[in-house]
Structure 1
Amino acid sequence: MPSSNRNTIYLTPEEDARLRKNFKDRIQTRRELSGQPREPSDLKTLRSQVIYADLMSDMQPQSGGQDAIVAYAVGDPYPPCVDAVEDLEPMGLGELRMETHHRERVLIVKRVTPVVRLKVCSWTVVQDESGDAERLEVVLHKEDHGKDILESGEMFRVLEPYFTVGEQGEPTLRVDHPSDLVVVHTDRAMAKTAERCKEEGNAALKQQNLLLAHAKYTSGLEIVQDSGTTKEDITFDLYRNRAHVNLRIHRLDEAKTDALASLTNLPYQKHIELDSKAYFRAGTAAYQLGEYQEAKRCFQEQKRLNPANKDATARIRKTEQRIHEEETGSYNFKKLKASLLLSSRREIAADAACFTRNVFIKASPGRGRGLFAKSNIEAGELIMCEKSFCVVWENEQQALTSMTYDFRDDRIRVFPAGLCRAVVRRLLDNPSQVGRAMDLYGDYRGPDVEQQRLKNKREAVIDVFQVHDIVARNAFGPEPGTSSAGLWMLASYINHSCLPNSEKEYIGDLMVLRATRPIAAGEEITHAYDLSSDYDARMETLMRTWGFRCDCKFCVAEKKDSAAVRKRRRDLEREASALVEKGETGRLAVVKAKRLAREIEGTFDEERYSGLPRMALMRIQKWIVEAGKK
């Protein structure tokens, strides 16, 4: 088995070869089976497979969950269904063909076995109305706020079903895009009143079953809308209660619109108190979305309706501080760091605004798009501060590091699968963020599903393959040496240079970017994607992870060194690092360090490296200076 050390995975040559062969054999099998009619599956056999898989899962050691490394293939993308569900033509399992995306069709199936929950997929057995049975699996994006999607219902619509071969060669219906699997809530078809839905929603909320509460409140609102009685108290109650649930599950777009929709604007004391609560919920959603002016307006309305509410006053004051930060770039970093140190939570979200007024995005010749300075920035001055769109910290339950094999370039990579899951879920929950996120660079760019979704009045539809490539090319590691990973949207436009003009610092999930030298207005902002002083290792990392080779002045100079010179420099630097790590500071150690520094210096051509840093020298030179002070 491959071993893992945080964000590095070690494979033996034999493991590497076996992994590649398995994935290549699987894709070849799929191609050979493409278009062939489905062979009927035996329900009894499928049930036995579920029992066996459950048994094997129970036998897995509980302690090794986060250490076990999973691997899966990428690079064979297909777009999600964007058609209106009612426009799709129903089909049965018997019509399926192997390795086929059944476009403009829909399957209605019922789950007939428990769900087998694995690290990167969940699967179950389903039947159609004829009694035919088949395996159904959801890959990677298999949970909705901690609840397995396949366990959240019994009836499902599979939109434009994809029938393929699974990991062990078994025929299966495969769902990659969460929006391609729709849970059919059978209780909605039963005659109920909006009041009854509200009561059931409240009961679910009391039991902390937030998704069920959301579904119940939504059912009540559908009943109200169908009846045309949208201005009654029950309607406002349902919107207000659903706004509360949406805040709890971070569906901030809907939380804000629900809260505002719940406003009665009536002059009676009861309604004034309820409207005050609604403004609080709308303001909280706007605050978390970074819409601070809107948040301030809502909190001011809350205060107007309830002048004695001291919490509203505090929220207004806090929101004004965020507005000051985003307008001026003036932060109390000392206080911010102290507040995070006192936090009992490891997965820390900094309570701060984004400051981005110093920069803008434009085309960068030969690099796609980049981030540029709007005005002159002095060395040490703040360039920008940005809150993360999404971070998954190493210790979180949703953290997952995987290996991916990419058919497109035959490369095996370490991938923050947990972050990819979290980004997809965040976008599904907050469609207002989809445009910004999907505009980021990625190797694969599918059809514009957002425009088609809006046209067909579908709920959020996210192309998970595009998100995968965006995360692969743009994710940052906020904690060096750990598997924590996050996505900062604006910072994703910053291009690489081995001679960067900026450096970053993280305060929780707040990225702080400062200039390392004077930057002129209109100059591109750069930072180093990889800080290795080993030219060959650096080039390999840049190509494997970001798909390019650097051609900055420093890399051009290093490229002209012979392989023998680069090897000698590596060996000397390794010896110097070993000396530093010993911690000895005696006279003999200093003499040896100075000798190593001279020998490393000798590997650099003086004329070619004129004006360029000697990265291999930096650590030992710093040690010599510090040793001289003792």
Structure 2
Amino acid sequence: MQLLLNQKKALRDAQTRIGQGIENRKSRDELTIQFRFRLMMSRQVRGGLNLRTAFIPPAYSPSFRSILDLHKVMIKDLLLETHHREKYIMLRSITPPDRMTAVMAIVEDENGDAIMLQLYYQEEENARPAGRNDFNYQRTLSKIDRVPSCWQPRVKEFKMSAEHLRMQGNNYFNDSNYEAAIELYSRALEFASDEGEAQTLKLNRSLALLKAKNFDTVLAALEPMVCVPEPVEKALYRKAQALYNLQKFEECCEVLTTLRSEYPKNVEANKELLRATKRVEEQKSGIYRFKQFYVETAKLRLPHLDHATHTGSVAVRGAGFQGRGLFTTKAIKAGELLLCEKAFAHAHIAENAQQASDLDNDLTLLINVERDSMTMGSQSELIRMIFQKIQKSPSFAPAIMNLHHGSYNSVGFGTVDSKPVIDTFYIERVIALNCFGCPLSSRLTHLRAMESQAIKGTNEKQFHSCGVWPLASYINHSCNSNARRAFIGDMMIVRATRDLAPDTEINFWYHALIAAEKNYRQKKLKQWGFRCDCAMCRDDQTTNRKILNSRKQQRAEVLRFFKTGLKANLPKIENIIVVMESQYSQPSSKVPRLHIWDLYLRLAQAYMQRKDPTKAINSALKSFSSLGYVIEGGNPPYKIGTPMIIKQWGLFVDHSIECWGVLCSAYQLVAPDLMIQSAQYAKLSYRICVGEDETFEETYKKFS
């Protein structure tokens, strides 16, 4: 909070100097020495988990003017707190770059005046030491004859021949400096002596474009070589790779089929066709090998999995005052897959110190002064990833630009000088309203919660890793949700938590629910700009504050009793819970009771410890009833052959699995046929909770 207040004060102070010139500017040598010293010191202490601070300044629109229409200024002309519209400044780096939140370097203009430059949301490639990389930018600018004459000799040193430029491009490519390689291959094409040499350069450039993730440009560049009677082998292969990375898997399969037909000896074509075919099958069927997800996640430095998105059971539609929502397109059973979506972008932060030392992660405190908000995690990195992804392949833009962005008025998405113009503030706003915090896997999170042996309502850990899943972003909030999200790497798995009819709006909670004071949930939802109007929230608003305070006190009293362990007075506890129940005016089948469901579960566990299965069963079923479940056939007295049926699924919580476990143990003693059903419901609940049930027996083998 102090950081936020300090930044707001700094901005207010800065506003008093709008339009003033820069005073007491340090000399070129002073800036360079200080910067190099700080760079040396910072690199000595780096490693592990680095905490950084990033500030989102007041929003302003990007420029849509061509560089040819701009007027040149120098460092001495710059004014404080001023956006220099219709101007450009030409600078060159005189130090190696340093990267924290921004890429930083000391730069100079042609007059020799120096200043520190900070570039935000840049790729790691743009933070490499100065050297070959600067040729790329000088060469680009020289096309419009704007490189100052005092800087041009460095450009003229290069021998202008196709072969020499190609070799230089190869050197850049081998150094993973793909942008510079692309520039040199493009320049070499101007000197190509014949069609054979030109084709080689085009293929080299297409590979560099692929490595630089410029997939749209790859497709356009390769078109003349694939849309001919005898398509070029490498051109077909690289077109297929570009389509795969654009997640156009069916088109990718078509190209690979052509490649295999035209060039049957191409072994890689067969491998890639098999891989692309698997993605098409995932898209259409929604059948995944989830155990393989965990294997891939463990192997990868960043948990970005090679799988496709399945959305066969859902569609985006209008949702009244909530704008747009996600709806079922067919009848869905509890536990059934609604969607499995690969993240548009996913920023991963290690969850422990050991991982952090291996991955050299950066944890950022992102401060937005205009909205008085602070977010700890990887949102700053997510802005960079999305910005760069759209900039490199503009066909990705609609997936992000169509998402909810609140009241922010964006200038939209356009192109100037053949380059996309992206409103970074728009992306930041979309991320703020649509990103999901996520664990490395929901299964690991679930295991930790169970190992703690403490029931903590449905409160979930706040995760530093985050991502944007565009389709899942259309799912609106409800406290009494009918769907549950789970994560494995950058894949989000959404399953129904109850039976859903066709054309039902899907919803899940944006902030995990706990038994809390009045308006607690509304305060937590404030950052998304709406108030929840579900049955639970309406009941909170209409319930007398004295009753709410009474529940809070009674709950605290019950928790104190439980702390005494085996000596706890269970009849006394049960009586207090019954009194709490009597204070609810709405049936639990309509309004789940967050204050008591977990108390009944603890009571069930305590009765099982005391070898009283009948009371354990009654308490466990009351726990489910408090969450809104309607279950028939499970209460004593038991009739052999009478099944236990869930007539209505209630609010889903992680500890549902644990509750079924209690019932399974108790029924084993008094109604063995119901034990099997309880185990099946436990497995189904596990599938909802962690996204899959392939690891259920492995996870819960000690309870079998």
Q: Same-fold call, TM > 0.5? A: yes
Partner SS state of residue 80, structure 2: coil
Question: What is the aligned length?
Answer: 564
1:188-587 alignment, distance < 5 Å: 190-221=158-189, 223=190, 232-263=195-226, 275-327=232-284, 329-334=285-290, 336-337=292-293, 339-340=295-296, 343-345=298-300, 347-395=302-350, 397=359, 399-415=361-377, 416-443=379-406, 445-451=408-414, 453=415, 456-479=416-439, 481=461, 482-533=463-514, 534-535=516-517, 536-544=519-527, 546-563=528-545, 565-566=547-548, 569-570=551-552, 586=566
**Separation in structure 2 between the aligned mates of residue 404 and residue 349 of structure 1, nearest angstrom:** 23
Q: Which amino acid aligns with 1:143?
A: E
**Separation in structure 2 between the aligned mates of residue 445 and residue 490 of structure 1, nearest angstrom:** 21
Matched-pair contact (CA < 8 Å) for 2:122–2:388: no
Aligned-pair distance for 1:321? Answer: 3.2
Aligned-pair distance for 1:340? Answer: 3.4
Partner SS state of residue 284, structure 1: helix
**Match in the other structure for 1:46:** 31
**Match in the other structure for 1:613:** 592
Matched-pair contact (CA < 8 Å) for 2:413–2:421: yes
Partner SS state of residue 486, structure 2: strand
Matched-pair contact (CA < 8 Å) for 2:308–2:342: yes
Partner SS state of residue 402, structure 1: strand
Going from structure 1 to structure 2, the CA distance change for 1:561 and 1:26 (only over 3 Å counts) comes to same
Matched-pair contact (CA < 8 Å) for 1:109–1:155: no
Aligned-pair distance for 1:447? Answer: 4.1
Aligned-pair distance for 1:508? Answer: 2.9
Matched-pair contact (CA < 8 Å) for 1:446–1:463: no
**Separation in structure 2 between the aligned mates of residue 351 and residue 610 of structure 1, nearest angstrom:** 41
**Separation in structure 2 between the aligned mates of residue 575 and residue 251 of structure 1, nearest angstrom:** 62
Matched-pair contact (CA < 8 Å) for 1:220–1:238: yes
> Could you report, residue by residue, the CA deviation over 1:136-157 in whole angstroms, capped at 9, with x for unpaired residues?
2223x14344735988438979
Going from structure 1 to structure 2, the CA distance change for 1:245 and 1:55 (only over 3 Å counts) comes to closer
Instruction: Flag the structure with larger Rg.
Output: 2
**Separation in structure 2 between the aligned mates of residue 153 and residue 574 of structure 1, nearest angstrom:** 66
Which deviates more from structure 2 when the two are superposed, residues 255-264 or residues 514-523?
255-264
More strand by share: 1
Q: 2:123 aligns with which of 115, 137, 143?
A: 143
**Match in the other structure for 2:6:** 22
RMSD: 3.5
**Match in the other structure for 1:34:** 18
Matched-pair contact (CA < 8 Å) for 2:135–2:155: no
Partner SS state of residue 496, structure 1: coil
Aligned-pair distance for 1:95? Answer: 2.1
> Could you report, residue by residue, the CA deviation over 1:18-75 in whole angstroms, capped at 9, with x for unpaired residues?
323311221112211112233362324423432453355256x435x5253x333325
> Could you report, residue by residue, the CA deviation over 1:574-608 in whole angstroms, capped at 9, with x for unpaired residues?
7777988x8x9857486676466446545x52337
Partner SS state of residue 526, structure 1: coil
**Separation in structure 2 between the aligned mates of residue 240 and residue 574 of structure 1, nearest angstrom:** 70
Matched-pair contact (CA < 8 Å) for 1:359–1:372: yes
Q: 2:59 aligns with which of 64, 77, 83?
A: 77
**Match in the other structure for 1:102:** 84
Q: Which amino acid aligns with 1:461?
A: V
Which deviates more from structure 2 when the two are superposed, residues 457-466 or residues 375-384?
375-384
**Separation in structure 2 between the aligned mates of residue 193 and residue 590 of structure 1, nearest angstrom:** 89
Matched-pair contact (CA < 8 Å) for 1:372–1:522: yes
**Match in the other structure for 1:131:** 112
Going from structure 1 to structure 2, the CA distance change for 1:622 and 1:194 (only over 3 Å counts) comes to farther
> Could you report, residue by residue, the CA deviation over 1:462-497 in whole angstroms, capped at 9, with x for unpaired residues?
221111111111111231643121110111111100
**Separation in structure 2 between the aligned mates of residue 577 and residue 261 of structure 1, nearest angstrom:** 73
**Separation in structure 1 between the aligned mates of residue 135 and residue 280 of structure 2, nearest angstrom:** 47
Matched-pair contact (CA < 8 Å) for 2:95–2:130: no
Going from structure 1 to structure 2, the CA distance change for 1:52 and 1:399 (only over 3 Å counts) comes to closer
Going from structure 1 to structure 2, the CA distance change for 1:392 and 1:413 (only over 3 Å counts) comes to closer
Going from structure 1 to structure 2, the CA distance change for 1:380 and 1:114 (only over 3 Å counts) comes to closer
Aligned-pair distance for 1:570? Answer: 5.0
**Match in the other structure for 1:168:** none
Aligned-pair distance for 1:529? Answer: 0.8
**Separation in structure 1 between the aligned mates of residue 534 and residue 393 of structure 2, nearest angstrom:** 39
Partner SS state of residue 101, structure 1: coil
Going from structure 1 to structure 2, the CA distance change for 1:362 and 1:184 (only over 3 Å counts) comes to farther
Matched-pair contact (CA < 8 Å) for 1:364–1:370: yes
Structure 1: unaligned runs, 5 residues or longer: 1-15, 158-182
> Could you report, residue by residue, the CA deviation over 1:226-270 in whole angstroms, capped at 9, with x for unpaired residues?
x8x7x7122222222233233334333233444445549586xxx
Going from structure 1 to structure 2, the CA distance change for 1:553 and 1:108 (only over 3 Å counts) comes to same
Which deviates more from structure 2 when the two are superposed, residues 317-326 or residues 147-156?
147-156
Which deviates more from structure 2 when the two are superposed, residues 480-489 or residues 441-450?
441-450
Matched-pair contact (CA < 8 Å) for 2:314–2:326: yes
> Could you report, residue by residue, the CA deviation over 1:399-425 in whole angstroms, capped at 9, with x for unpaired residues?
543323333333333352222222222
Aligned-pair distance for 1:200? Answer: 1.6
Going from structure 1 to structure 2, the CA distance change for 1:306 and 1:50 (only over 3 Å counts) comes to same
Matched-pair contact (CA < 8 Å) for 1:383–1:515: yes
Q: Which amino acid aligns with 1:33?
A: R
> Could you report, residue by residue, the CA deviation over 1:518-553 in whole angstroms, capped at 9, with x for unpaired residues?
333333221111122225443222113x23221211
Matched-pair contact (CA < 8 Å) for 1:367–1:495: yes
**Separation in structure 2 between the aligned mates of residue 21 and residue 504 of structure 1, nearest angstrom:** 36
Structure 2: unaligned runs, 5 residues or longer: 139-150, 351-355, 440-444, 446-460, 609-615, 617-661, 666-704
